[in-house]
Amino acid sequence: MEPHEPLATDRPVSRSDGRPLRRPIFLRVALGLLALLLSCGVGIALWVAIDYSRINREGGWGFILAAGLFAAIAAFVCVGCAVCAAISLMRREKHRALTVALLIASSLVVWTFKGMAVRVVRGFLGTNTGAADAAHTVEQR
């Protein structure tokens, strides 16, 4: 068996300085996270559409639950996307323009929802502190 001459498709695509390009692994992870967010959004929307009348009869708390659940998932996914996009840029993977756009969009979403998360945590802490103070004053009487 004679060795064949390498084809043009056998050679890795390289940069101008001769080093081979890296596969866009972290970009694919980030896009997978966005696909997961989309599927979770569709699932939550289907759940709300199916149980719309029951949720509406019970005061609408299911709508708030669905919105909060989607916001929490979106926050985690966008943080993950921003981290993966930053790692992809540091590794100098292919598709840098798409990675930069993904990094900017994810960072803006995280920055926007940052204040909401802080207010929710402070609200929970304030509620627990107020309940503890009320219990303490009842014990003192």
Among the listed residues 20, 34, 119, the one whose alpha carbon sits nearest the alpha carbon of residue 85: 34
**Percentages helix, strand, coil for the chain, rounded to the nearest 5?**
75, 5, 20
Can you say how many angstroms the Cα of residue 113 is from the centroid of all Cα atoms in its chain? 12
pLDDT of 42 reads 94
Measured over the CA atoms of residue 95, residue 101, residue 103 and residue 106, the dihedral's sign is negative
**Amino acid sitting at position 39:** S
pLDDT tens-digit series, residues 51-105: 988 988 888 888 888 888 888 888 888 888 888 888 888 888 878 888 888 888 8
What ranges do the domains of the chain cover? 25-126
Question: Which one is predicted more confidently, 96 or 48?
Answer: 48
What percentage of the chain reaches a pLDDT higher than 70? Answer: 70
